[in-house]
Amino acid sequence: MNRLPSSRKIFRCGLRLFLAGAAVILLQVAGFAGPPAAAPRAKAVIQIWLWGGACHIDTFDPKPDAGRDFSGQLSEAIATDVSGIQLGKLLPNLAKQADKFSLIRSMTHGNNGHETASYMMQTGHPEGERLVYPSIGAVVSLFKGYDAGYKGLIPPYIVLTEPQGRFSEAGFLGPRYKPFATGGDPAKTPWAVEGIVAEGISAEHQKLRRELLGHLDTFGRQLEDDPQLAGFRECGEAAYDMILGEGAEVFNLAKETDELRARYGRNTFGQSCLAARRLVERGAKFVTINYKGWDTHKQHFQTMNRKLPELDQGLASLIQDLAERGLLESTIVWCGGEFGRTPRVQWEAPWNGGRTHFGKVFSVLVAGGGFQGGQVVGASNATGEDVAVRPVYPWDLIGSMYELLGINPDGTFPRAGDDAVRIIPAKKDGLKSGGRLKEIM
C-alpha cells in the first residue's frame, strides 16, 4: 500500500542512518585499494535489462542469409545511418541512431541458466566463487553514492519498476545497497510510485496527514534536543520531501510534453525510458529498466512482433533525447539480457517456433558515457551459433564500464578483517577474458 511512513518505517530509516555512519567508518578503516582507473567520463548508467534474454539474430546481429531455420519470419536486415552496420527489420528507429551507439556481437559466457547467467552479467564475476558479489548498480551506489558524498534526495540506485529477482543485487554489501524499486506503472496517471505517490490521495491531503502526525508526536516534542532522535527527524523530513517535493516531481511524467511522451511510446517500457532520463538528469547514478517478456520458449515470433517495436521506439528515443540534452556524453546506456536465444528455431511441438536459452554467443548495445558510437565489436559466425572473433565476457564489459565511471576495476572493495576482495576478478585460475573494450572507449 502507498501511505505515509509509519513509525516502523521511520525506525528502519533511522537504522539505515546508523548503518550509513558505520559504513563510512568502515571505508575509513579499510580504504580503497589503488587509484581510480582514470578521470571519470561517465556520471550515470541507464541499464535496459532484457529479462529472459533477447535473440541477437532478431535484433543486433541479423543473419539474412542463414535461412528460415535461423531467421524465421524476421529474415530481413535493414541498413542504418552507419555504413556497413545492419539491424533486424523491426528496429527502424534505432537504425537512425546507430552513429550514437556501438554493438558487441560476441558476448559470451556459455551458461544457459537464468540465475547464474544473470549473476555473471550483472556482477562481472563468474559463478561459484566464495562470496556473493554485488551487482554493478550496487557497486556504483557504493563508490558514487552515499559513501562518496552523494547528497541527492533521489536514491542513487533505482529499478523501474520491480527488481529482477534472479540474484541478490546487493551481494555481500548488504541491504543498504539494494535498489529502490518504484513499483507502479509509469504509463498510468498518476504513476503510483511505492511510498511516494498514493492513488486517490491529493497533495493537500498528504500535507494534512503530516500536520496531524506532528500534533500526535508528543513524545518527540518532549525530547526535541535529544541527538538520538535527530536522525529520525531528518529521515522523516526526507521522506516527506520525497512525497511532497522533489521526489514527487521527478516521478511526475506529466511535466513532460505530450509530444515527447508519445515519441517514447505510451506504454510501460517507453515511459520507463523517459523516467530514466528524468532520474539521471536529477542526479541518480544507476537506473535499471527491468523489461520483462523475452523468455520466448514458445511462439517467439508473435512476441517479437509486439515487443521489438516497443524496444525500438523507447530505446531510440532515450538515446536521441539524452544526446539532444547534452547528457549522452556522461550517461552510459547499456541494453542486453542474461544471455541470448538459440539461433536455430525450434519449430517442433510443443515449442511451435520458439527459441530457448543460449549463452554461447549473444549481443549487447552500449552508448554514451565514453563509449564511441557507430562501431561493432566482435562477430558471430554465419549462423550466429559461435563467436567468430573477439570474445567479450561479462567481466570485460562491466570492467570497461567501471573504468569509464572512474571506478578502478582492478582495485578492491573496502572491507575490514578480511582478505582483499577484487572488484573485477583477476585473469587467473583459467578465467577466460577478451580484455576491456578499448577499441570503443
The lowest-confidence range among 16-20, 212-216, 376-380 is: 16-20
Q: Which residue has the cell 492513488?
A: 199
Q: Are 376 and 103 in contact (CB under 8 A)?
A: yes
pLDDT at 129: 87
Q: Is the pLDDT of residue 237 over 60?
A: no
Q: Which three cell numbers stand for residue 435?
A: 580484455
pLDDT at 154: 85
- 212 — pLDDT class (breaks 50, 70, 90): low
| CA–CA dist 212, 133 (Å, integer) | 44
The closest of 331, 332, 330, 385 to 361, measured between CA atoms, is 385
Hey, what amino acid is at 362?
F
Pick the CATH number of 31-197+251-440 from 3.90.440.10, 3.40.50.40, 3.40.720.10, 3.40.50.300: 3.40.720.10
pLDDT at 135: 96
| Mean pLDDT across the chain | 85
Please tell me which residue, 101 or 39, carries the higher pLDDT value: 101
Q: Which three cell numbers stand for residue 107?
A: 558476448
Preceding peptide of 190 cis, ω within 30°: yes
The pTM score is: 0.85
pLDDT at 233: 56
Please tell me which residue, 103 or 17, carries the higher pLDDT value: 103
pLDDT at 48: 98
The Cβ of residue 334 has, within 10 Å, a number of other Cβ atoms equal to 23
Q: Is the pLDDT of residue 199 over 90?
A: no
- 242 — pLDDT class (breaks 50, 70, 90): low
pLDDT at 376: 98
pLDDT at 285: 97
Q: Is the pLDDT of residue 127 over 60?
A: yes
Look at phi and psi of residue 184 and say left if phi exceeds 0, alpha if psi is from -120 to 50, else beta: left
pLDDT at 192: 85
Hey, what amino acid is at 173?
L
- 317 — pLDDT class (breaks 50, 70, 90): very high
Q: Is the dihedral of CA 389, 439, 83, 265 positive or negative?
A: positive
* pLDDT (tens digit per residue) in 404-441: 999 999 999 986 556 779 999 988 767 999 999 999 99
Q: Are 175 and 214 in contact (CB under 8 A)?
A: no
H, E, C per residue of the chain: CCCCCCHHHHHHHHHHHHHHHHHHHHHHHHCCCCCCCCCCCCCEEEEEEECCCCCCCCCCCCCCCCCHHHHCCCCCEEECCCCCCEEECCCHHHHCCHHHEEEEEEECCCCCCHHHHHHHHHHCCCCCCCCCCCCHHHHHHHHHCHHHCCCCCCCCEEEECCCCCCCCCCHHHCHHHCCEECCCCCCCCCCCCCCCCCCCCCHHHHHHHHHHHHHHCHHHHHCCCCHHHHHHHHHHHHHHHHHHCHHHHHCCHHHCCHHHHHHHCCCHHHHHHHHHHHHHHCCCCEEEEEECCCCCCCCHHHHHHHHHHHHHHHHHHHHHHHHHCCCHHHEEEEEECCCEECCCCECCCCCCCECCEECCCEEEEEEECCECCCEEECEECCCCCCEEECCECHHHHHHHHHHHHCCCCCCECCCCCCCCCECCCCCCCCCCCCCCCHHHC
Q: Which residue has the cell 502507498?
A: 2
pLDDT at 247: 66
Q: Which three cell numbers stand for residue 242?
A: 520525497
Q: What is the mean pLDDT of residues 366-388?
A: 98
Look at phi and psi of residue 17 and say left if phi exceeds 0, alpha if psi is from -120 to 50, else beta: alpha
| CA–CA dist 325, 345 (Å, integer) | 41
Q: Which three cell numbers stand for residue 281?
A: 538528469
Q: Is the pLDDT of residue 166 over 80?
A: no
